[in-house]
Amino acid sequence: MKIVKLCVLAVLPSVVIGSGCAATEKTTFNTLEQQRAIASKSYQQGDLHVAEGYLQRIVSSLPKDSASWCKLGHINYRLNRYSAATNAYERCLSLTPELPEIWHNLAAVKLREATEFLLTGRAYIPELNEAGSASSFAVNYTRLLNELGRLHGVAGYSTEMISDD
C-alpha cells in the first residue's frame, strides 16, 4: 500500500504540471511576435494570404491589436475585398483614431467601391437620347466617373460621354 501511495505521489506532480501546461496553452508573447514577423515578411513578399492567416490569429488572440487590424485592411483592399477592408480599417480606427493614413485608406476604399458601382451601372445608361445627345443624367454620371478616375490617379481617364454642347 505504501508503494502505491509513493507511486501516486511521484506521478501526481507531473500530472498537475502537465495539465497546467495544457490548460494555460495560450499564445505566448514570443509566438505572437513570431507570428507578427511571419505576417510582415509574407506581406512584404506579396504573399497576402499567408500574411492574412497570421494576422487573423493575432487579432483572435489580441482583438485590440490596432496594427494588425490596419494591416488586415491593407490586405483586403489589395485583394479587392472592400467590405472586409472597411471592417478592418474601422476596427483599427476605433482603437487608434489618430492615424490619418488609415482615414485616407478608408476613404480610398469608399472611392474604389463608388467607382466600381458606377462602372457597373454605366452599361445601363442610354448614351444618347431621342434628340441624339446625351441626357443631363448621363453627362453628370460620366462627369462623376471621370472625377473618380482622376482621384484614383488614372492619367487621361475619360469615359468620352460628356458633351458640353
How confident is the model over 85-138, as pLDDT tens digits?
999 999 999 999 999 999 999 999 999 999 999 999 988 887 656 666 778 888
Does 69 share its domain with 143? Answer: no
pLDDT by residue (tens digit) across 44-95?
A: 999 999 999 999 999 999 999 999 999 999 999 999 999 999 999 999 999 9
pLDDT by residue (tens digit) across 15-41?
A: 334 434 444 445 455 688 899 999 999
Does 93 share its domain with 133? Answer: no
Structural domain containing residue 140: 125-165
Give the CA radius of gyration of the chain: 28
Does 39 share its domain with 78? Answer: yes
The answer to whether residue 145 is domain-embedded is yes
CA torsion angle for 149, 153, 155, 160 (degrees, to 10)? 10
Number of folded domains that form the chain: 2
The terminus-to-terminus CA distance of the chain in angstroms comes to 107
pTM across the whole model:
0.69
The answer to whether residue 16 is domain-embedded is no
Which is more confident, 145 or 7?
A: 145
The answer to whether residue 116 is domain-embedded is no
Highest-scoring range by mean pLDDT, 9-13, 139-143, 158-162: 139-143
Q: What is the CATH number of the domain that holds 49?
A: 1.25.40.10
The answer to whether residue 41 is domain-embedded is yes
The SS3 call for residue 132 is coil
What is the 8-class DSSP label of residue 133?
Answer: S
Does 72 share its domain with 135? Answer: no
